[in-house]
Amino acid sequence: MSLRAAVLGHPISHSKSPALHTAAYAKLGIGIDYTAVDLTERTLPGFMHELSRQQGWRGLSVTMPLKTAMLQEVDEVRGVAKVLGVVNTVAFEDAGDTVRRVAYNTDVAGIVNAVRNAGVVPAPTAVILGGGGTAASAVAALELLGTGSVQLFVRDTSRVHEARAAAAGVGVDLAVRHLSEAAAPTAAADVVISTLPPRAADGLAGELAASGARTAGVLLDVAYDPWPSKLASAWQAGGGAVVPGLEMLLYQAVEQVRLFSRLGEEVNAAVIDVMCDAVGLPRRAY
């Protein structure tokens, strides 16, 4: 029986997940065919119903706009995903004569590892740009990094339910403000996590560049296409460290590969290195 996995979302053609996963399974010697499937919230239930009739599925990577909608399509939610109400991973687990769909959130680990790899200070002052599902994961990641309060800057302050719920769930104080007020607090933060779509932070980037402000902290810009983003360029010009969104994608994908392959910690440094090669990231220094 052939094994299958996929990344789901809309749009999805730009996704680097197939390259990451395919490289990992080849290195592990496992025949998992990993593809990209374009789905919206409206078409997700039908796809999941069809999938229940098929054998060989090992897992699903879930991206926007499906990270909340997928909660209605699984049998169990585990780990931090239960607190956040946001998932990016579904693993298929054999349970006797049935298969259970178990949801996880590996975005949190992806953010934590990407920011730590850049040398962020302990208990950093923090800013998040954008308020969707990835922002909720960023709140939980910052709590794990020792942050007790976060400033959240969004284009629409009425649409921050997921981030507010995440902050309440993990015990982080969240101050929500409009994106137009973000320039000075962003420049001063030890760590900034931008979850905004591509080009949505271009205005802020222009403000930072025009002000000549020093940016001494770490910026993780989740939008990795086009790269570098204007925000990343402005941040680097101010002296700050920039972490591309591909770093987060890499680390969250490592956790997915461990679940989908069912090999856990056997997904080691050698596997991570070929995943880096597949998307043009530098190999890790161990």
Q: What positions carry a catalytic annotation?
A: 67
CA distance 239 to 156: 30
3-state per-residue secondary structure call for the chain: CCEEEEEEECCCCCCCHHHHHHHHHHHHCCCEEEEEEECCCCCHHHHHHHHCCCCCEEEEEECCCCCCHHHHHCCEECCHHHHHCCCCEEEEEEECCEEEEEEECCHHHHHHHHHHHCCCCCCCCEEEECCCHHHHHHHHHHHHCCCCEEEEEECCCCCCHHHHHHHHHHCCEEEEEEHHHCHHHHHHCCEEEECCCCCCCHHHHHHHHHHCCCCCCEEEECCCCCCCCHHHHHHHHCCCEEEEHHHHHHHHHHHHHHHHHCCHHHCCHHHHHHHHHHHCCCCCCC
CB atoms within 10 A of CB 146: 12
CA distance 204 to 182: 7
